[in-house]
């Protein structure tokens, strides 16, 4: 069955997404919402984790007029020169009449389409965010009973087959009762999470000893891999609610 999708005004799309993702109540340095306006109308939306030449070129080849991403091009810098790689990406969007819309933290913390909410669903973990630890829902905690081996198998199956882990002696060969997770780069939340396991995308050198001293097993499933589920789910919401055609662009990164 062929679905009859609608055309939409760009301003109406942005207004609907801004309201649904509640961007007015989320403060951060990234610019959320419309970043580049190249065309006033929308009939085919490409979705991707990041705005880069790979995703912009793919959006062009599938005749998308709008690209919605989690990692946009503007991160709060004012009067940024349109030059270098940044300038090339902007020029490619404008040359091919492709709008750019980006949602960073709003797409991490949303209770339905957010990366963290979706990670919980993928791993069959029931949890609610703890606003006393992080605002809005950047960190989720689940009270559960499982083993490290089972958890790693679940992550490898549902999120990233190349998952890595850094075990704590307090968790190895024992039941796990508390799991926390934060998509992307959530290593700095180890201490606040206070969990036996913390699942995130990527970590820094300082997090290794911090986790050992906390007795926390660190699990890294890749920044890209932990942040592809939210933008995909947002695409479903757009099709179901706004009836505009969407296509997810897979632009895998090993990081």
Return the pLDDT at 134.
65
Q: How confident is the model at residue 3 (pLDDT cuts 50, 70, 90)?
A: confident
Give the span between the Cα atoms of 200 and 88, in whole angstroms: 31
The maximal CA–CA distance of the chain, rounded, in angstroms, is: 57
Phi, psi angle pair for 101, to nearest 5°: -125, 135
Return the pLDDT at 173.
62
Note the pLDDT tens digit of each residue in 185-232.
999 999 989 999 999 999 999 999 999 999 999 999 999 999 999 999
Residue 1 clears pLDDT 60, i.e. is over it: no
Residue 170 clears pLDDT 90, i.e. is over it: no
Query: What domains are there in the chain, each with its CATH number?
Result: 8-108+228-248 (3.40.1390.30), 115-226 (3.40.1390.30)
Name the residue with tokens 């055309």: 7
Rg (alpha carbons) of the chain, rounded to whole number? 19
Note the pLDDT tens digit of each residue in 53-98.
999 999 999 999 999 999 999 998 666 888 999 999 999 999 999 9
Return the pLDDT at 112.
94
Name the residue with tokens 């060969």: 173
Q: How confident is the model at residue 172 (pLDDT cuts 50, 70, 90)?
A: low
Residue 132 clears pLDDT 70, i.e. is over it: no
């Amino acid at each position: 069955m062929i679905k009859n999708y609608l055309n939409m005004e760009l301003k109406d799309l942005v207004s609907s997404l801004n309201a649904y993702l509640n961007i007015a109540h989320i403060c951060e340095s990234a610019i959320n919402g419309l970043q580049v306006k190249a065309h006033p109308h929308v009939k085919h939306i490409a979705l991707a984790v990041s705005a880069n030449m790979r995703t912009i070129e793919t959006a062009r080849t599938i005749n998308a007029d709008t690209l919605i991403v989690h990692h946009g091009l503007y991160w709060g810098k004012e009067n940024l020169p349109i030059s270098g790689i940044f300038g090339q990406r902007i020029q490619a969007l404008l040359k091919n009449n492709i709008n750019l819309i980006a949602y960073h933290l709003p797409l991490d913390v949303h209770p339905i389409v957010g990366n963290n909410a979706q990670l919980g669903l993928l791993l069959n973990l029931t949890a609610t965010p703890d606003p006393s630890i992080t605002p809005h829902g950047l960190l989720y905690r689940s009270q559960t009973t499982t083993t490290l081996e089972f958890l790693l198998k679940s992550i490898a199956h549902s999120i990233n087959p190349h998952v890595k882990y850094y075990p704590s002696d307090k968790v190895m060969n024992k039941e796990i009762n508390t799991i926390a997770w934060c998509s992307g780069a959530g290593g700095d939340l180890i201490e606040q999470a206070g969990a036996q396991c913390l699942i995130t995308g990527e970590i820094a050198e300082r997090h290794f000893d911090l986790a050992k001293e906390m007795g926390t097993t660190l699990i890294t499933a890749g920044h890209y891999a932990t942040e592809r589920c939210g933008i995909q789910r947002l695409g479903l919401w757009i099709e179901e609610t706004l009836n505009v055609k969407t296509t997810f662009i897979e632009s895998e990164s090993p990081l």
